[in-house]
Chain A
């Protein structure tokens, strides 16, 4: 084959070999954002599935927020100066808030005790959530506990315990998480619970919850 023939063939290949279609920029972007926030990248179709995916995403994200705040609270209590948080792993990822949670020093001890107790219960419930979901035991009793904690959360939000900005932010985050957990009551199928468990595992939430609990108990 002559050189010019071969070159012509290669030039043709530039137009014909695996000729790319128009890139689906918006769809890809949506996937990238989702995966950067810990999703699987496999977008499911169907209203119910999509709704549950959204629900579980919120649960996991909010749980992660709680862990971050709890760890910050623990380190503040122990007198260690928390380093300035680094930039999130991905600019698209939802970063936990600055771990500056600290009970208002002027808070009276009854509120402090009640808030501390409540935080322990909330942490325990969120830690138990993955196993409850895994075994399909996210039953009415479990969800009722979530409902009770949600009520307590709202009461605390209206109390002096929420005077501190950081505490208010935590309570608001917990309100969101617990509201999402309570909503599990309306859609209780095994598949949906599996999706909750899958989402929590993929976000590495369980080990983080255990770490937070250990820090709190050691405090």
Chain B
């Protein structure tokens, strides 16, 4: 089943994957290397899934669902929507997996589906829910990196109000840590376009915070 690789306990594997799926800035190389040593090759896994192997399907899901969910949540800010869009992504992915040609990484392909699913669904939503500021909810994880809560909230609102192409780009790059190349593949644009969009997004955020910045320290 694992192509000669040592068997991996599900919980242990999931723990590693969970770590790997967390913000890549916090992923340590040993964790990635350890996981890579145990991982079944992705083409083998895909072949097994396409052949109807449900256990393989679950393995593939476990490997990618945390990151897909994170992306969906970052884009929607809503647990129920993120959950629904993650499910949509995998239902579509499993239905179309036989047609996956491997031109890009599976993760890229999955994230492309995720972004499409989210964008299509959110267009149908008349407007985002009014963001309710809950300082407990948005309290940072690292207290030594505190910033002015008002500035933070203004930034969050400004991100929410960005045009979709800019918002998606800045969330993927600055919030989730995707590279320009990865974003370009997911969004189907040139890497230069991605950089341009990021620059535009940041400029718009700066403009949105301009009235607060002079009188507040971050």
Give residues in A with beta carbon < 8 Å to B: 1, 5-6, 8-21, 23-25, 27-29, 31-32, 35-36, 41, 87-92, 95
CA of A66 to CA of B186, assembled, Å: 41
**B50 close to A16 (CB less than 8 A):** no
Give residues in B with beta carbon < 8 Å to A: 14, 23, 25, 49-54, 56-58, 61-62, 65-66, 69-70, 73-77, 79, 82-84, 86-87, 90-91, 94-95, 97-98, 137-142, 145, 147, 151-152, 155-156, 159, 171, 174-177, 202, 205-206, 209-210, 213, 218
CB distance from A23 to the nearest CB of B (A): 4
Between-chain CB contacts (< 8 Å), 21 pairs? A6-B205, A8-B218, A9-B155, A9-B218, A10-B174, A11-B145, A13-B152, A15-B140, A17-B171, A18-B75, A20-B70, A20-B74, A21-B79, A23-B70, A25-B61, A25-B65, A31-B87, A32-B61, A35-B91, A92-B54, A92-B57
Q: Which of B52, B97, B141, B171 has its CB near the most chain A CB atoms (within 10 A)?
A: B52
The residue that A95 contacts in the complex, of B52, B58, B147, with Cβ under 8 A, is B52
**A8 close to B66 (CB less than 8 A):** no
Residues in chain B near residue A91, CB distance under 8 A = 49-54, 56-57, 94, 97
Q: Interface on chain A toward B: helix, strand, loop, or mixed SS? A: helix
- Starting from the known contacts A41-B91, A87-B50, 15 additional A-B residue pairs (CB-CB under 8 Å) come to A1-B206, A9-B218, A10-B202, A13-B174, A14-B177, A17-B159, A23-B70, A25-B61, A25-B62, A29-B61, A29-B65, A32-B87, A36-B91, A41-B84, A41-B87
CB distance from B142 to the nearest CB of A (A): 7
**A18 close to B218 (CB less than 8 A):** no
Residues in chain A near residue B159, CB distance under 8 A = 13, 17
Residues in chain A near residue B90, CB distance under 8 A = 28, 32
- A8 with B57: in contact, given A16-B138, A28-B87, A35-B87 (CB under 8 Å)? no
Residues in chain B near residue A11, CB distance under 8 A = 145
Residues in chain B near residue A12, CB distance under 8 A = 140, 145, 147, 152
Q: Interface on chain B toward A: helix, strand, loop, or mixed SS? A: helix
**A24 close to B83 (CB less than 8 A):** yes
- A15 with B142: in contact, given A87-B52, A91-B57 (CB under 8 Å)? yes
CA of A36 to CA of B155, assembled, Å: 39
Residues in chain B near residue A20, CB distance under 8 A = 69-70, 73-74, 82
CB distance from A204 to the nearest CB of B (A): 14
Residues in chain A near residue B205, CB distance under 8 A = 6
CA of A146 to CA of B25, assembled, Å: 62
CA of A36 to CA of B94, assembled, Å: 8
Q: Which chain B residue has the least Cβ–Cβ distance from A42? A: B84
Residues in chain B near residue A31, CB distance under 8 A = 87
Residues in chain A near residue B53, CB distance under 8 A = 91
Residues in chain A near residue B91, CB distance under 8 A = 32, 35-36, 41, 90
Q: Which chain A residue has the least Cβ–Cβ distance from B71? A: A20
CB distance from B100 to the nearest CB of A (A): 12
CA of A87 to CA of B48, assembled, Å: 11
Residues in chain B near residue A89, CB distance under 8 A = 95
Q: Which chain A residue has the least Cβ–Cβ distance from B91? A: A35
**B140 close to A16 (CB less than 8 A):** yes
CB distance from A5 to the nearest CB of B (A): 5
